Copies of this chain bind each other. A is one copy, B any other.
Amino acid sequence: MASPIQENLVSKNAEYASKFTKGDLALPPAKHYLVLTCMDARIDPAAAFGIDLGDAHVIRNAGGSARDALRSIIISQQLLGTKEIILIKHTGCGMLTFSNEDAHGLVKKNLGPSAAAEIATLDFLPIKNLDDAVKGDVEYLKRSAAVPEDVIISGWVYEVETGKVRRIV
């Protein structure tokens, strides 16, 4: 039994695969960079940020958090040779709308005490100010001993209302 979402995946993927011509791309990103952005449904990184298939790693998590992405960033750089990080957070981000206390409270209320205990030490990494969060994450990456000093790092905001990016740092 497939759900409607699973049926959509199967039918749309069959269309995609029927026209697919890029089966011989190499594993390491051809343009040696990575994009780190939010999981937000209103962002299509390939289209909005001009990433051709095979060119860049794309890391996405709630808020486009650099801390949360550190494992993936190290792998991207040390094992797959990327040399530049484009960090893009966005307007209207859900991470601006709650605190750690709110999130832990919701889990306890909705899922019960065993769920709350399972994630008791989890930092949900909410943010208070968008531009400051971009600057803070870029600083975090620049300070991290696990990110080489010659890696180029820039920080941006994507506007979900206009489709435009603007550079912060």
Contacts and interface: CB of A to CB of B under 8 A. Distances in A.
Contacts of A11: 50
A128 to B, nearest CB: 16
B106 A118 contact: no
A23 B162 contact: yes
A139 interface: no
Given A12-B49, A33-B5, A71-B68, A107 B160 contact: no
Contacts of A58: 39, 41, 60
Contact of A110 (B20, B70, B78): B78
Number of copies: 2
Interface string A101-116: 0010011001110110
A31 interface: yes
Contacts of A61: 59-61, 69, 71-72
A156 B5 CA distance: 13
Interface string A34-45: 100001111010
A80 interface: yes
A163 B23 contact: yes
